[in-house]
Amino acid sequence: QVQLVESGGGLVQPGGSLRLSCASSMSIFSIYVLGWYRQAPGKQREPVALMTSGSTTNYVDSVKGRFTIYRDNAKNTVYLQMNSLKPEDTAVYYCNAKIPGAGTAVYDYWGQGTQVTVSS
């Protein structure tokens, strides 16, 4: 079992910045993929930014050049720096960890979610 605790959401004006944090209860060296997902009202949850254990990153097209995922191994924490925020970035943001199990099994763990609202 792993626990993921998010923080850093809030209300920000268009063009502003926020940094989300996700603290893991286990070493992030053991995690295949760390990622941030978001879910807007009436929409499906979508991946926003992913980082593999080898530090390869991937972003959804709508946030490329504005969002950055990075991690601090010493703190077992992954961050999402969000700049130039737009109203369409408004959503609940969730931290996700994919952790290897026995054989080829991979298990998904989720944080509780943090609300990001971009509005003037």
Q: Could you report the per-residue pLDDT of 9-39, keeping only the tens digit for each?
A: 999 999 999 999 999 998 888 888 999 999 9
* Res. 43 pLDDT band, cuts 50 70 90: very high
Please enumerate in sequence order all residues whose Cβ is within 8 A of that of 61, keeping only pairs 6 or more positions apart, or say none. Answer: none
Residue 39's alpha-carbon distances to 43, 53, 65, 78, 109, in angstroms, are 6, 24, 20, 19, 16
Please give the single-letter amino acid code of residue 106.
V
Query: Average pLDDT, stretch 40-50?
Result: 96
Tell me if 96 sits within 8 A of 109, measured CB to CB: yes
Calpha distance 112→94 (Å, rounded)? 7
- Could you tell me which of 31, 62, 35, 64 has the C-alpha nearest to residue 47? 35
